[in-house]
Structure 1
């Protein structure tokens, strides 16, 4: 048993009910769709990723403090056959507790309420890449125990399998050998409109996700 598992176990015993949580049931329109839950630190770009995948400004997206208060589901009007659950951003000061609540909620949820797939979203830029370091790795282990597949999505990332090699190595060390998809949802433009970083990776992400989804 890992250190975080022991800490969470002690906290659960010391403060009954602290980690009792329910995963918000997907809405009725999500029945029959592939349910994907997005989890990651604040500022990782989860809401922007939702908007880019769906091709519409469905989820409110801003920098700074968490914009998404709880899990919100998007994709009702999309023809992709997906329901995307955008979760509240993990905060460094409370991320262990947040992850523990998510873990408990998913473990307690029935098949009709569980996601088919989880995207662990990490900002590839600077120090925000692993805010609340260790918690996503612990959550990945929880997902393995429950039997829910997951992918790591690097946002604001340069294209190519060789890009962000150091970060990819950290992900592999923390979570094992699993797919890591690099994505940039909007082109980064420089002076005079020159494209410094193109939008890329969305199709690769969807292609990697489809084997885990129904239909």
Structure 2
């Protein structure tokens, strides 16, 4: 890892890029500066791309925060944009001056994938989809969280599933798809679009679950059209 890939350097660059592209972000950071550390985090694709594809345009921001932190941010979110529910039943916020970029805002204590309720950001990341997404920064101080060795897989350009023990439950009340079917589609899509080689165990799971391809139209209806190749 060179100096440009150090989490501390990446965090500073990422915050600078987001502040330039997303007008509300500086206000969010100012509010977060008055909230104790280990309360508000940016995670997922935006953090992954800061290491893997820093030139990639920001489309959305995944923010995980404690219930107490959300209470401190809620007034700003309500007054400076539109706060609504997304397809997962969590919050999605469109800042008034942010154009097409939106925030998915997830309360840590409510994040549930059928395994256990989460107590902190580590619990959250340990229930993500792929390791390269299971990375986060504390927005108050830049502390980097990487419990699944996502940065190693980012540098090796490997797509590795975080786990294979999710129960066969629907994603949400509004989406009639198994969580595992959603994962299967996402593994295919991100392997191709991010140029990642498949970890062998993940590849074998995808082959064993190839029957889920009949659900691609339903996945497309609720999410996006995945790029799916046979493995």
TM-score by length of 1: 0.29
Larger helix percent: 2
- Relative contact order: is structure 1 or structure 2 higher (C-alpha 8 Å, sep ≥ 6)? 1
